[in-house]
Structure 1
């Protein structure tokens, strides 16, 4: 079964909108685990507009599933990850002012930098994943950095699938086949939803984990968090 890691950034966004503690991020994290999710994902950004750095520390003792921290490995993020030691760190090349993740790493251009960062995390026993576009040369470059996994950036697939273009899966399938041959674990995320997740999973061999936040929280406004998480788990099984 492909694991479901729930990104709870949007819960923090809603909390921060009023300046209080509603919804309670820690309670939601506990409930997400109770409802069957096999991972919790957070993406703290430098401006702390949703997940705050303190949240990352507060979540550590209550997350008893995989704890995945995403971010650009700048100094503050590196320090945060090395102190918390989550299960996995996912490296994302976000600009400081990015609204959301919008591109994968150029693993050829930034190979030496990524090798240095990844080596530091692996020395501390933290599994590493690199956010990449579904391009074969980027998969090959990722393998040369020493990373444990890649996370396929799935926005293009999701957009095209919603238009009825199922051939949009082809680059992802080809990337997954290459990654498997290179002994890279495969994660995926960005705009995956109840509508497209089953098709994606069926066509990406050995998909280990998906990280889903925005769509899952939006769907939960109508269906409820427990029901929606159950729906994902059924499609991923």
Structure 2
């Protein structure tokens, strides 16, 4: 993590003000450890590479997809061992979210663009219901 001392100082100030500090980071064990060192209480694992690999237009190889899922899982597990809350997000869609949702201890998925884009066609309530179904492994 670049500027670790500055991030620690900001984290302390925010925590003292009662604000939960979450650090958005790549699925890299060194970054998980750094987030813990600076006092973050939550991390959000960036799923952009996974999303890129699962995009039908890029045709990621299944071995690459599985390797990225393993990286995400390993980082989520380490964060959980350190007592951090774990979230994941970036580029998650109705078609790729189920595999991420299965990873313990990920307890929060940050999905926005895909739901809003779908809501423009079918309405927000249906778009959210469909995402819940996708998270539970039932594609729309």
TM-score, normalised via structure 1 length: 0.52
Residues 101 and 109 of structure 2 are in contact (CA less than 8 Å); yes or no, is this contact kept in structure 1? Answer: no
Higher helix share: 2
Count of aligned pairs between the two proteins: 129
Q: TM (normalized to structure 2)?
A: 0.85
Counterpart of 1:121 (choices 3, 10, 14) is 14
Equivalent of 1:189 in 63, 83, 89: 89
Q: Which runs of 4+ in 1 moved over 6 A?
A: none
Runs of 5+ unmatched residues, structure 2: none
> Following superposition of structure 1 onto structure 2, how do residues 119-198 of structure 1 map, counting pairs within 5 Å?
119-162=12-55, 163-164=59-60, 165=62, 166-167=65-66, 168-198=68-98
Q: Distance in 1 between matches of 2:108 and 2:47?
A: 13
Contact 2:44 2:86 survives alignment (8 Å): yes
Matched, 1:215 2:114: yes
Distance 1:236 1:155 in 2: 17
C-alpha deviations, 1:185-225, integer Å up to 9, x for none?
101111111111111111x2111111211111112222321
2:92 matched to 1:199? no
Please give the secondary structure, in 2, of the residue aligned with 1:150.
strand
List per-residue Cα deviations over 1:57-93 (Å, max 9, x = no partner).
Answer: xxxxxxxxxxxxxxxxxxxxxxxxxxxxxxxxxxxxx
Q: 1: distance between equivalents of 2:99 and 2:118?
A: 18
Unaligned runs of 5+ in 1: 1-106
Find out whether 1:229 has 2:128 as its counterpart: yes
